[in-house]
Amino acid sequence: MDLITVTRKPGGEFAIRVRGHEVICDVSAKEGGRDAGPTPVELLAGALGACVAVMSQRYCGTHGYKDGEVAVSLTVEMADNPKRVGGVVIDLEVPRDVPESRMEAIRRVADLCPVHATLRNPPRVDFDIVLSDN
């Protein structure tokens, strides 16, 4: 996988960079930020939604379901002690020509997305802390 870097921008928000792409991450003005981009939690939920959408779209495209679009809406429920995502509700919209008999198959395909699998089976996270060059 390509290296992902996160660096602070002059306004205080952070730039997430990978393969020439940049996404700005910030917090709301109410939380002390400038609301220049999604929060880290919103990016996490967005990654989950995008992964579910990609997997579902591949299934629908492969099976010829094209009467409408795949779309995902997510609601994030926060929890405390520790502060974290306590739950996510995913609403998956599929093309109108998907028969009821294929809905469970789409659910299984969406459930197999790597981001969802990662949330169900958390990875090991190792920290290396170094002094800043700047």
pTM of the full structure: 0.93
pLDDT at 72 (0 to 100): 98
Confidence of residue 52 (pLDDT cuts 50, 70, 90): very high
Q: pLDDT at position 115, please?
A: 97
Give the residue from 62, 45, 70, 52 showing the smallest Cα distance to 113.
Answer: 52
The 10s digit of each residue's pLDDT in 18-47 is 999 999 999 999 999 999 999 999 999 999
Average pLDDT for 94-117? 96
Q: How confident is the model at residue 133 (pLDDT cuts 50, 70, 90)?
A: confident
List the structure tokens of 87: 């739950």
pLDDT at residue 134 greater than cutoff 80? no
CATH hierarchy code of domain 39-123: 3.30.300.20
DSSP lists the bridge partners of residue 18 as 21
Q: What is the structure's pLDDT at 9?
A: 95
The percentage of the chain sitting over the pLDDT mark of 90, rounded to a whole number, equals 96
Domain edges within the chain:
1-37, 39-123
The model's pLDDT over 65-93, given as tens digits with 9 standing for 90+, comes to 999 999 999 999 999 999 999 999 999 99
- H helices of the chain, where? 40-62, 103-111, 114-120
